[in-house]
Amino acid sequence: MSRAMWFVALLASVFFVAPVSGQGADDLQARVDAAAARIQADPPVHERPEPWNVPLMEFENELQPLRAAQIDERIQVWLDILQDQVRRRNRLQIAAQQAEDDDLRKALLARSAEHQEIVGKIVQRVRAAMLELQRRGGDVSEYERYVANVTGTKLNLTDPRVLMAQAMTWIKSPSGGIAVGLKILAFLAMLFAFWIVSRIAAMAVRAAVGRIDEASALLRDFLVGGVRRTVMLIGLVVAVSALGVNINPLIAAIGAAGLVIGLALQGTLSNFASGILILIYKPFDVGDAISAAGVTGKVEAMNLVRTSILTFDNQIHYVPNNEIWNSVITNITGRDTRRVDMVFGIGYGDDAARAHAVIEEVIKAHPKVLPNPAPTIKLHELADNSVNFIARPWARTGDYWDVYWDVTKTIKERFDAEGIGIPYPQRDLHLPEPVQVVVTNG
C-alpha cells in the first residue's frame, strides 16, 4: 500500500471510528501503531524495486518538505535510473535491428516498447521534481536539455521491415498509437459533452433570468454567456487532463499569467468594474437610445469591457465602459412617453391670440399627440426679433420625431395661410439727428 493510502487509513481510524473502551481500544491503538510503523518504514521512492510505478502524488508529497539541494540530489538519482532504462531500451532496439527472424524482431521491439513506457513514467517524475526545484529558485535548464536528448526513439530508416515493426510496436504499445487515439477520442468526447452541458446550463440560466421582472437584457446576456464560457473552460481543463497531461503546472502558469496580465491591464479591469456596475444599476438596456461619453445612438451590445452604440447615421462606436459610467448617461428612450419641446416665433405686429389658437388647434388635431398629460402652450418670451410661444405636447417615445416634424410643418403652413409672419432677425437703428446721404455716379 502506498504512503498516501496509509495516511488516509490512519486519518479515517482517528476521526471516523467510534470510541471504544477496554480491550477494543487497545486493539485499535495497536492497529494505528502498526499502520504508522509501516508508513515510516517505507523507503524513499527511488529506493523501491520499481520506483516508476509508485503513484505520482506520493512522489510529489515526498518532495514537498525537501530543500532545493535535496531535491537536486533526488533528480540526480532519478537521472541515473532514466539512463539505465534508456540504455536497456536502446540495446533491445539494436538487437531487433540485427535479428533475422521476424518473430524475434517483433518480440524484441515489444520489449523495447515496455522500456519506453518505463522511460515515460520516469520522465514524468523527473519533471515533477524539476518543477519543485524551480519553485525553490533552482535552475533546471540543463536537466531539461538532457531529458529532451535522451528520451527520443531513433527510427531505422534503412530497413523497411525494422521500420514497420517499430511502427506496429509503437501502435500497440500501452502509450502508443492506439492509446493516443483513444485519448484524443476521449478529449473530443469530453469537449462535446461539456459543449452540450454548457448549452443546457445557458438555457436554464436564460429561463431563470427571464422570470425576474427587473432583469435587463444586458444582465441576461452576460449571465448566459458567462455560464456557457465557464462550463466550457472547465470542460477544456478536464479534457486536457484526459490526455494524460499534468494540469497542475498549467494551472500554476495560468495563475501567474493572470497576475501579470492583471497588472498590465489595469485600465481594462476598470472597464470590467464599470461594466459590472452598469449591469447592477441598469441605466440602460439593449435597444435603448442613449447619450453618454459624447456619443448618441442606440445600444446594440455590451460586454464587461465596452459597449457598442449604433449612431443614428449608422456608425458603430465602441465605447469603454469606464468612460460611460464616469459620464452623464442620458437614456433617451428610458420612458414610454416624451415631451416634445418646440418654440414658434411671430412678429410684434401680429395677432398673438390668433397665433396661440392656431398652435393649439394644430397640436390637438395631431393623432399622435397624447391627450394626457395635456399639451402646454404659452406665450413665453418677448425676444429681440420675435414674440416666442412654447409648445410642449406629449407623445410616445417612438413617435417623438413624427410629432415634432409634422407639427412644425403644419404650423408653418397655417401661419402663412393666416398671414402671421415668422420674422427674420432684425434691428432698429435710432440716430440722434438726421443723416444726409449723398449718392454720386462713378
What residue spans define the domains of the chain? 43-175, 179-264, 267-331, 337-418
Q: What is the pLDDT of residue 10?
A: 46
- Asked whether residue 260 carries a pLDDT value surpassing 50, the answer given is yes
Whose CA is closest to 339, among 278, 300, 391? 391
The CATH number corresponding to 337-418 among 3.30.70.100, 3.40.50.1580, 3.40.50.11540, 3.30.465.10 equals 3.30.70.100
pLDDT at 289 over 90: yes
pLDDT number for residue 365: 94
Which contiguous run of DSSP H or E holds residue 338?
strand 337-339
Q: Which amino acid is at 302?
A: M
* Beta-bridge partners for 49: none
Per-residue pLDDT band for 442 (boundaries 50, 70, 90) equals low
Answer whether residue 34 shows pLDDT above 90.
no
> Out of 33-42, 119-128, 245-254, 419-428, which region has the weakest mean confidence (pLDDT)?
245-254
- Residue found under cell 502508443: 176
* SS3 state at 141: helix
pLDDT-based confidence at residue 4 (cuts at 50, 70, 90): very low
Nearest C-alpha neighbor of 317 from the set 303, 332, 298, 334:
298
- Contact criterion met (CB below 8 Å) for 205 and 227: yes
In this prediction, residues 287-301 reach a mean pLDDT of 92
Answer whether residue 157 shows pLDDT above 60. no
Name, of 55-69, 124-138, 180-194, 403-417, the range with top average pLDDT: 403-417
Residue 382 has a pLDDT of 93
Is the predicted pLDDT of residue 9 greater than 60, yes or no?
no
Give the pLDDT confidence score for residue 341 in this predicted structure. Answer: 95
- Between strands 306-311 and 289-292, the pairing is unpaired
Quote the pLDDT of residue 7: 45
Quick: pLDDT tens for 56-103. Answer: 888 888 888 889 899 989 899 999 998 888 888 888 878 877 777 778
Residue with more model confidence, 254 or 322: 322
Instruction: Identify whether 432 is preceded by a cis peptide bond (ω within 30 of 0).
Output: no
How far is it, in rounded angstroms, from Cα 210 to Cα 44?
59
The pLDDT confidence band at residue 357, using thresholds 50, 70 and 90, is: very high
Mean pLDDT, rounded, for 21-32 = 71
Amino acid 183: pLDDT = 77
Using N-to-C axis directions, what is the helix angle for 102-135 and 56-63, rounded to 10°? 30
Instruction: Kindly report which listed range (147-156, 219-228, 284-293, 329-338) carries the lowest average pLDDT score.
Output: 147-156
Q: Residue 287 pLDDT more than 70? A: yes
Q: Given a cut of 50, is residue 2 above it in pLDDT?
A: no
Q: CA–CA distance from 166 to each of 132, 176, 187, 218, 337 (Å)?
A: 35, 11, 26, 58, 80
**Angle of helix 247-264 relative to helix 266-281, nearest 10 degrees?**
90
HEC states along 400-433? HHHHHHHHHHHHHHHHHHHCCCCCCCCCCCCCCC
**Per-residue confidence (pLDDT) for residue 358, from 0 to 100:** 95
* Residue 397 to residues 10, 73, 298, 392, Cα–Cα distance (Å): 73, 78, 14, 14
pLDDT of residue 247: 63
- Are the C-beta atoms of residues 341 and 390 closer than 8 Å to each other? yes
* More confident call, 269 vs 321: 321
User: Distance between CA atoms of 105 and 92, rounded to whole angstroms?
Assistant: 9
User: What band does 400 get if pLDDT is binned at 50, 70 and 90?
Assistant: very high
Mean pLDDT (the chain, rounded): 81
The whole-angstrom separation of Cα 107 and Cα 102 is: 9
pLDDT at site 256: 67
Query: What is the predicted pLDDT for the residue at 375?
Result: 95
C-alpha cell at 182: 483513444
Residue 223 or residue 36, greater confidence: 223
pTM: 0.46
Give me the pLDDT at residue 214, please: 65
| Residue 140, pLDDT above cutoff 50 | yes
pLDDT at 296: 94
pLDDT at residue 265 is higher than 60: no
Q: What percent of the chain has pLDDT over 70?
A: 79
For the sheet with 387-392, list strands across it. 342-346, 387-392, 376-382
Q: Which residue has the cell 500497440?
A: 172
pLDDT over 50 at 3, yes or no: no
Degrees, nearest 5: CA angle 4-10-14: 145
Residue 17 has pLDDT above 50, yes or no: no
**HSE-CB of 57 using CA atoms within 13 angstroms:** 6
In CATH, what number does 179-264 get?
A: 1.10.287.1260
Q: In this structure, what C-alpha cell is assigned to residue 79? A: 537521472
C-alpha to C-alpha distance for 411 and 363, rounded to whole angstroms? 9
Instruction: List residues bridging with 390 in a β-sheet.
Output: 343, 378
Query: Which residue from 50, 189, 195 is spatially nearest to 114, judged by alpha carbons?
Result: 50
CA dihedral angle for residue 203, residue 205, residue 207, residue 211, rounded to 10 degrees: -170
Averaged pLDDT for residues 368-385: 93
- How far apart, in whole angstroms, are the C-alpha atoms of residue 75 and residue 85? 15
Whether the per-residue pLDDT at 216 is higher than 70: the answer is no
Give CB contacts under 8 A, 24+ apart, made by 245-250.
246/56, 246/124, 246/127, 246/128, 248/131, 249/131
Q: Tell me which CATH code domain 267-331 carries.
A: 2.30.30.60
Kindly provide the b/e burial profile for residues 111-122, where b requires at least 16 CB atoms within 10 angstroms of the residue's own CB: bbbbbbbbbbbb
Is the distance from CB of 388 to CB of 354 less than 8 angstroms?
Answer: no
What's residue 337's pLDDT?
94
- The answer to whether 370 touches 362, Cβ cutoff 8 Å, is no
